[in-house]
Chains A and B, each alone.
Chain A
Amino acid sequence: MSKKKLSKKEVQKIADLANIKLTDEELDKYSTELSSIIEYVDKLSEIDTEKIEMKAHNVTTQNVFRRDEPGKSLTQDEAISNRKSSSEGGNFVIKSTLK
């Protein structure tokens, strides 16, 4: 079990992947908080899984498919109605994502 605390650098990397900005204080705060979450989840490693087959799913269902038949879509108004940003010509409009 790891008692290792996440470094600020590691937290920064996670923040970059999630595209969010964190202040220095937040980096400190989250390195402590995230470390305790990892520690909690690490409890799972205590279980002996030596003889358990590795699986991606624990469901017995398999091969759930759709036939290739087009159905109804939302209207443009419905599609963009939940937006937080603005819209124009039926597009969602956000701040430029180009760097």
Chain B
Amino acid sequence: MSYELVLGLEIHIQSKTKSKMFCACSTDYFGKEPNTYTCPVCLGLPGALPVPNKKAIDLCMKLGLALNCSINQETKFDRKNYFYTDLPKGYQISQYDQPLCYEGHIDLEIDGENHRIGITRVHQEEDTGKSSYAGGRTFLDYNKSGVPLIEVVTEADFRSIDEVLEFANQLRLLVRYLGVSDADMEKGQMRFEPNISLRRKGYAKLPPYKVEVKNIGSISVLENVIRGEIERQSEILDKGETPVQETRGLVDMTGETVSQRAKETEADYRYFPEPDIPPIVFTKEDIENVRKELPKRSPYELRSYYLDEIGLSPKDADFFVNDLEVSSLFNKLVDGKESDKKYIDSIVSLIKTLHSVIIENSIDRNFSDLDPGFIKMVIEEPPPGHLLKELLKVKIETYWEKDLSPNEILQKEGLESVSDANELSEFADKVISANPKAVSDYKNNPNAIMFLVGQVMSQMNGKADPNIVKKILEGKLK
């Protein structure tokens, strides 16, 4: 018998905030000592008062708007009660009947055909603690408890695995691009829960059952799980039976699942308004302000613009699309010169250098705010290669808002490079006569010249371009 897939997804995404959803504990918990990022609020101690993180609310709204949702101007938090040790309060603070965002959609293009997937809701909640199991005992670490978590719920609109995978990839790209989440799946920052059922081809009614699979932290495992369920459910349906409505859990990364428990019904959660958090009311203007921050192009449109119109490699296109700050600076610099290959290559290389300077030095700056004029000057008159990173670093750390040219900054910082051939030659001569052993090594091993280059650089306090020094030394030692 042939069946049609009927699938809806719930996706949990950890927001990119510095502090937790309802308390000031840091969200930088990954790989840290257990229970070192907790406080009375996220440990669920009596009398603690949760206060919502405004940044998290804004990020949730931003994602909702990007998914074409309507925004509830009046929203609130609710308690979802269930008894499990990863939630020390005995309930999760979530949203029930007034989710922040509702009724959106996303359009997927697969093989030239449009597939619209309805978004039921996008709401804000909190993550739970981490449980691990060994020797008949459970170990509880509440560092993750209370980290802001966005839940996206789709309609049961998926009819093929291809649609699910395309959606998962696009959503991951979207949240990264918007700066909503890093969506690092290895760190559990994005998790999928499909509700899977099958119906006879040609039937329009929803199947009388659904099987939910919890906590899938990888898109390839998600694919395996769905394939496995289609097979398992087809066999049951072929026998004329109906699969049991249940929650299944992953056995391992192959995607094999096992029945966990009969699915709780909504009433079992006994939702009620969170009395400790006053309601939230947005003006139309509040919503429009967040909408204004949305980029004009979606990440998919941007990616094809990079590939087709600018001619970036797929790798470079992905690098830029994965980060709104990076792509925004890049777009400003392209500035109508899409076809100037040489210019584009130099911006790509410079932005990558800039990105690595920011990562290496853990600099906390939104670099889409960096003055594009400055970057253009660096491209037109590049500093000696060895000074580029240093120049970018001091520009960001010290001269962010100061209107100085690259050369002025190099001078002020004493970073200017000696390019006077006579001066360089003098230093080279001194080093050659002081290091006879290295000079004779060089005759047998050309790599030994790097020692001499290092000596010249150190005598000149780094104020020379090592490539030029190398050439001068090679000339002298011929």
Contacts and interface: CB of A to CB of B under 8 A. Distances in A.
B368 interface: no
Contacts of B281: 62-63
B25 A73 contact: yes
B375 to A, nearest CB: 29
A66 B273 contact: no
Contact of A17 (B18, B52, B56, B83): B83
Interface string A57-99: 1010111111111111111100110100000111111111110
Contacts of B131: 97
Contacts of A91: 34-35, 132, 139-141
Contacts of B83: 17-19
Given A93-B138, A94-B140, A70 B18 contact: yes
A76 B275 CA distance: 29
Interface string B44-85: 010000011111110000000000000000001000011111
Interface bracket on B? 35 or more
Given A65-B51, A92-B35, A57 B275 contact: yes
B138 A61 contact: no
Contact of A70 (B25, B36, B51): B25
A26 B98 CA distance: 39
Interface string B81-102: 1111100000000000010000
A56 interface: yes
Given A73-B26, A79-B43, A68 B35 contact: no
Interface string B338-374: 0000000000000000000000000000000000000
Contacts of A17: 81-83, 268, 270
B33 interface: yes
Nearest to A97: B138
Contacts, number: 127
Interface residues of A, number: 36
A61 B278 contact: yes
A19 B82 CA distance: 9
A18 B90 CA distance: 9
Contacts of A90: 33-36, 141
16 contacts: A18-B83, A56-B76, A56-B98, A57-B278, A64-B51, A66-B52, A67-B54, A70-B18, A70-B25, A74-B40, A76-B35, A90-B33, A91-B140, A95-B137, A97-B131, A97-B133
Given A65-B53, A90-B35, 17 more contacts: A56-B76, A57-B279, A65-B54, A67-B54, A68-B17, A68-B53, A68-B56, A69-B24, A70-B26, A70-B27, A71-B19, A76-B36, A79-B35, A94-B137, A96-B136, A97-B84, A98-B133
Interface of B: 17-19, 24-28, 33-40, 43, 45, 51-57, 76, 81-85, 98, 131-133, 136-142, 268, 270, 273, 275, 277-281
